[in-house]
Structure 1
């Protein structure tokens, strides 16, 4: 081996010397065997491989020493970057352990800071629920968005306190106890919003709650909350009152809050821990029971009365179509066009949502397969309950094996609420879907303020903002801060953030400045009756 300076190393010189000795000995032995000692030949034959081994291991040792020196230099540089104390007496194992601990600490702190930035302007930090700004944006969405249920209920819960306990730790503990119980109650419903409206007022919105169930829920809430352990030390048994009001789409938010407040005052007059509500008569179609809905939805599946429409998702960078979201409407037997927000909760109650998901998925797959070279991909909303159904999975596997569904042409969307609610069970099936070739999207992000730890564990392609986050975002710094924090948190994970419900140019311009990857809504296009190709949307 030759050094970089052109000189021979000591092991190399030894090998050269031994080789010359061996060649010389062999030559003398061949020319004059009698004059050559056999001992010399044997010694040469033994020394030559030994010197080769010495050369090999010396070279290997030198490489290891160089690698160790480089590793130590790297450790020293990392120590300097992480602002650690690189004492010379520390072993490499200890140094690496300290580096690992420091990196874990920094990652945890980074996640906490990003989450804080994400929700800073929308959270009540004392109770760790949404604040009034958060609630009002969600309320406006549910009262005006055509994609949501056209009706529901708003519950106003007022927790009493004596003047001596104003802003006390004990009062906060009672409010936190009520929040925990309300979280448990809300978990039984698909779409809910829970927030703190003022110092002692909590608010719960339940979308899609029928008029017949409002009073039952109000009475149940009053019983469960008044018997909570957080009120065990109260001398006065009258600890709270509940006022509730039904809402219809298009209703003004101030009117609904005023009705709930009047109902709260009436509940206070009725006695301790009482609930009172204002319930308006709902439309006949809304008030129909589960028996009618089961019959109607079953017939609709048989008669192919579910109609698909397609809303383009636009990229602001390419100014072209990223994909189409598949929307579904029901042509009811009486000729009405019923949106998914109305019939899907009924389908869940009747156990028919899995069949509807199958119908939509197969129909969309056939449409996408017509000319996959020109049509952009479709994304389809799938219920997590379908994914957790064994028979549903067997059906999907058969469709994949038969080639009737091509996962490369489809992305599957699941709502953040359902992912968080069923995460332990849903994680495995979502990973299985990704392995099968489907792209994964989490929808309705921002409706909840929970820390979305699933992003670190699921191979997501995109997340989609809830329309309530997008609505008038140019006028609300709190919502801009939320979106900016969300995008920053997902940037290093390769997850793009998309906006839904974009209706105004100023909303879209603001979202672009925040770094959004794409958006969909009436600003770009109404839902279309067919998939369109790139460049068709003007």
Structure 2
């Protein structure tokens, strides 16, 4: 763009200088011609005077004294000085009043039958003539018209070349893959046909990208969603359970519900597919409304008449309330005549805690479902195996007191985990946090963050994390390159006080801002895009990078990644887990990376735990990975 403007300026300047040079050459030629003409005119007068003197002496008119006629002639010719000699003897001498201007000297021999010599002094020929007002006005008017013409031509050429600069602006944006801005910059590019062609191609490209996003969503929908109900399928449930567990078992407490509709397949033959679909859709809609208040919940279909619900980070008391709500909304449904809801819905629940095996969890939920069916009427059942997490069972009042104490006394402990690229170089460090209690025990984030959300203290904790990163980690003078990523929750991003503080802080430490990466959950971005657009745009304009994590947790269009201008995305661990054995997960990654072709968005992976997973991810085009294969979270001192 700068080069194009520079060339435009050079072209207009060359044109202007060319016209100025022509005009100057014209004036110079006229001036030289004027001097030459006056000089020749003066030379003619000198020749005429010499002829007159020769004629005077040859015609025998020597008896007529020179004083009688020569002075008037010399005055007419403006001769300043004249000396006429014969063999060294002065015959006539004339001297007029001189001024301080320059003179021209003439000396010649009059050899026409005599030995006369003549010497004269005349003023400079071009000084003998002066312009009158009329020629001067004509001359100045001509100069004015020339200047006006040159100026008008310069402005016209600059206007014409501005269209080329507009085309250069759009071309630069296209080369930088900023297609949206290039489409918005329609301008007045010239030639107009090229400008319209660019607009047409950009519109076609935008539509093709949207079609690609819809096609990618279609692929993922057919891979992970149940085609009849639109919720997750059995494969989706397996991936999400894998993400909640590792080799040591489940990583957080929670509950697994299995909801089964009794003899739904036999009922299909009696009442038809249309009524069955209506029952399923109504049941799914009501359950989704209940699960909206449960963060990170999973709802999927295991078989034709059985559904699975997983809710992590929930206490045993809340499990009983949630089970009662689920059963209540199911019993409120109006079933076709002749079908009773008293023995139609059965729910089996299995509560799990940290470290329990995933396979054991599913087995216990199936046993609980069988027990609920043996009871003979619609209801729910859960084995009481004493799996209550004591910390999670604390009351809300105790949790609020403890969390406020941790904030005031800065009991937050920061951990970092490296994100490693394909060259095994650290791209950045992701920051996580824990709380140290009075017994010097560390309370994990999966335990205290849900309680902080309930108590409305999430913005304060995340602000303290950012302060620690800015003041302690980024303030290290020995390390001026390492980048750090910090997670932001929905409550934090929607807090006006936090956004004002963040804007002020980033302005104050703008030299450190390029080393900050803010991560936002994909679920938060997708469902709150309009409310978060201005806040995310502010963070990006301040110089920080934006990352969306847990990508693939839900089946959604990836168009939001381009619209919100994210720099990084992190695949959810449910996609990464055993990806070398799962063709459908590989298809998801290929589709995602293909949809981001020609963008600068980098794709990273979370939860990489084996060499085979990392090799497969690199082959698929993933830029960097994060997980236990590289390093576990390390406490930052």
TM-score when scaled to structure 1?
Answer: 0.78
The 8 Å contact of residues 255 and 349 in structure 2, kept in 1 or not, is answered as yes
Counterpart secondary structure, 1:412: strand
Closer, same or farther: CA 402–219 of 1 in aligned 2, 3 Å? same
> How far has the Cα of 1:261 moved from its partner?
2.0
Alpha-carbon displacement from aligned partner over 1:427-485 (angstroms, at most 9, x marks no partner): 22111111222211111112222224421221211111111211111111111111111
Deviates more, 1:329-338 or 1:404-413: 404-413
**5 Å matches for 1:312-323?**
312-317=418-423, 319-323=424-428
Counterpart secondary structure, 2:307: strand
Specify the alignment match of 2:522 in structure 1.
Answer: 416
The 8 Å contact of residues 352 and 361 in structure 2, kept in 1 or not, is answered as yes
1:446 equivalent to 2:548? Answer: no
Give the CA RMSD over aligned residues.
Answer: 4.5
Closer, same or farther: CA 435–102 of 1 in aligned 2, 3 Å? closer
The 8 Å contact of residues 348 and 368 in structure 2, kept in 1 or not, is answered as yes
Could you tell me how far apart the structure 1 residues matched to 2:565 and 2:434 are?
Answer: 30
Specify the alignment match of 1:86 in structure 2.
Answer: none
The 8 Å contact of residues 362 and 405 in structure 1, kept in 2 or not, is answered as no
Specify the alignment match of 1:516 in structure 2.
Answer: 622
**5 Å matches for 1:7-406?**
105-144=207-246, 150-159=252-261, 160-161=264-265, 162-164=267-269, 168-228=273-333, 231=334, 233=336, 235-238=338-341, 239-270=344-375, 272-281=377-386, 282-317=388-423, 319-368=424-473, 369-371=475-477, 373-403=479-509, 406=512
The alignment covers a number of residue pairs equal to: 499
> How far has the Cα of 1:276 moved from its partner?
2.4
Counterpart secondary structure, 1:284: coil
Structure scoring higher RCO (CA < 8 A, sep ≥ 6) equals 1
Counterpart secondary structure, 1:198: coil
Closer, same or farther: CA 92–445 of 1 in aligned 2, 3 Å? closer
The 8 Å contact of residues 365 and 409 in structure 1, kept in 2 or not, is answered as no
Deviates more, 1:241-250 or 1:139-148: 139-148
The 8 Å contact of residues 129 and 449 in structure 1, kept in 2 or not, is answered as no
Specify the alignment match of 1:480 in structure 2.
Answer: 586
Could you tell me how far apart the structure 1 residues matched to 2:201 and 2:303 are?
Answer: 46
Could you tell me how far apart the structure 1 residues matched to 2:542 and 2:571 are?
Answer: 26
Could you tell me how far apart the structure 2 residues matched to 1:166 and 1:265 are?
Answer: 26
Could you tell me how far apart the structure 2 residues matched to 1:466 and 1:148 are?
Answer: 16
Deviates more, 1:254-263 or 1:342-351: 254-263
> How far has the Cα of 1:332 moved from its partner?
2.1
> How far has the Cα of 1:147 moved from its partner?
11
Specify the alignment match of 2:10 in structure 1.
Answer: none
The 8 Å contact of residues 465 and 498 in structure 1, kept in 2 or not, is answered as yes
Could you tell me how far apart the structure 2 residues matched to 1:435 and 1:297 are?
Answer: 33
The 8 Å contact of residues 120 and 482 in structure 1, kept in 2 or not, is answered as no
The 8 Å contact of residues 217 and 555 in structure 2, kept in 1 or not, is answered as no
Alpha-carbon displacement from aligned partner over 1:221-275 (angstroms, at most 9, x marks no partner): 12223324xx454641324322221112332333222222222233334455422
TM-score when scaled to structure 2?
Answer: 0.66
Closer, same or farther: CA 520–299 of 1 in aligned 2, 3 Å? same
> How far has the Cα of 1:363 moved from its partner?
0.8
Counterpart secondary structure, 2:391: helix
> How far has the Cα of 1:335 moved from its partner?
3.6
Could you tell me how far apart the structure 1 residues matched to 2:198 and 2:596 are?
Answer: 28
> How far has the Cα of 1:148 moved from its partner?
7.6
Counterpart secondary structure, 1:250: coil
Alpha-carbon displacement from aligned partner over 1:466-522 (angstroms, at most 9, x marks no partner): 112111111111111111112222233321111111111001000000000101111
Alpha-carbon displacement from aligned partner over 1:131-177 (angstroms, at most 9, x marks no partner): 11121121122133889852101111223351505982432343233
5+ unaligned residues in a row in structure 1: which ranges? 1-18, 28-37, 72-90, 532-538
Could you tell me how far apart the structure 2 residues matched to 1:94 and 1:379 are?
Answer: 42
> How far has the Cα of 1:352 moved from its partner?
1.4
Could you tell me how far apart the structure 2 residues matched to 1:123 and 1:293 are?
Answer: 38
> How far has the Cα of 1:119 moved from its partner?
4.5
Closer, same or farther: CA 198–451 of 1 in aligned 2, 3 Å? same
Closer, same or farther: CA 322–96 of 1 in aligned 2, 3 Å? closer
Counterpart secondary structure, 1:204: strand
> How far has the Cα of 1:219 moved from its partner?
1.2
Could you tell me how far apart the structure 2 residues matched to 1:148 and 1:388 are?
Answer: 31
The 8 Å contact of residues 213 and 559 in structure 2, kept in 1 or not, is answered as no
Could you tell me how far apart the structure 2 residues matched to 1:97 and 1:434 are?
Answer: 27
> How far has the Cα of 1:344 moved from its partner?
0.4
Could you tell me how far apart the structure 2 residues matched to 1:321 and 1:101 are?
Answer: 39
Specify the alignment match of 1:32 in structure 2.
Answer: none
> How far has the Cα of 1:104 moved from its partner?
5.4
Counterpart secondary structure, 2:211: helix
Counterpart secondary structure, 1:313: strand
Closer, same or farther: CA 107–464 of 1 in aligned 2, 3 Å? closer
Specify the alignment match of 2:60 in structure 1.
Answer: none
